[in-house]
């Protein structure tokens, strides 16, 4: 199985009602051999239009953080829990996540990152702990299927609450330091 095989299955998926309102599925982007994988919650309007994750204002902010610590999209892989946009950019429902999460698990298995970074509370609750509190636990390292995993604030949340930009930058510095110390780059 390849990432393209999984993407083809995603494009044909009708497991939940989100397939009825999507323009494009949003599978993932970046380096398929990356040691660092970022996981968000769901595509937004810009992502639905382009089929690429994190391309709107939040995506530009993510790019800025990557650049600030010496990384780029070519160094990492970026995906979401779900692959179709929820209407009006609402949070994905648990049943929608349940229908889609196996695609993300397959992506993780194929890419085999050493470090997974959850962008926001929804991804962190799904992959780290259902009781995860991003405001208190961001930047902490956990274990996930033999890999390191951590969470930081979602870039869209930073646009709404700029006060969290400094702690997020600290988290990105930590991501870079881990990658450097453990020869992920």
Beta strands in 54-125 (DSSP E): 76-80, 115-119
Place of tokens 């979401």: 80
Query: What are the angstrom distances between the C-alpha of 29 and each of 49, 116, 135?
Result: 15, 15, 27
pLDDT of residue 185: 80
What is the pLDDT averaged over residues 95-124?
98
What is the pLDDT averaged over residues 40-54?
97
Superfamily of domain 3-180: Uracil-DNA glycosylase-like domain (3.40.470.10)
Residue 184 has pLDDT above 90, yes or no: no
Residue 61 has pLDDT above 90, yes or no: yes
Domain ranges of the chain: 3-180
């Amino acid at each position: 199985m390849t990432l393209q095989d999984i993407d083809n299955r995603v494009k044909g998926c009708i497991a939940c009602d989100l397939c009825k309102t999507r323009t494009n599925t949003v599978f993932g982007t970046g380096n398929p051999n990356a040691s660092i994988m970022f996981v968000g919650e769901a595509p937004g309007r810009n992502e639905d239009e382009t089929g690429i994750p994190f391309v709107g204002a939040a995506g530009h902010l993510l790019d800025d953080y990557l650049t600030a610590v010496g990384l780029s999209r070519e160094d990492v892989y970026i995906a979401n829990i779900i692959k179709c946009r929820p209407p009006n950019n609402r949070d994905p429902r648990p049943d929608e996540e349940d229908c889609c999460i196996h695609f993300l698990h397959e992506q993780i298995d194929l890419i085999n990152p050493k470090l997974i970074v959850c962008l926001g509370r929804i991804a962190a609750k799904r992959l780290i702990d259902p009781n995860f509190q991003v405001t208190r636990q961001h930047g902490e390292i956990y274990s996930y299927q033999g890999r390191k995993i951590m969470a930081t604030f979602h870039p869209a949340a930073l646009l709404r609450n700029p006060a969290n930009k400094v702690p997020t930058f600290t988290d990105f510095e930590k991501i870079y330091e881990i990658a450097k110390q453990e020869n992920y780059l």
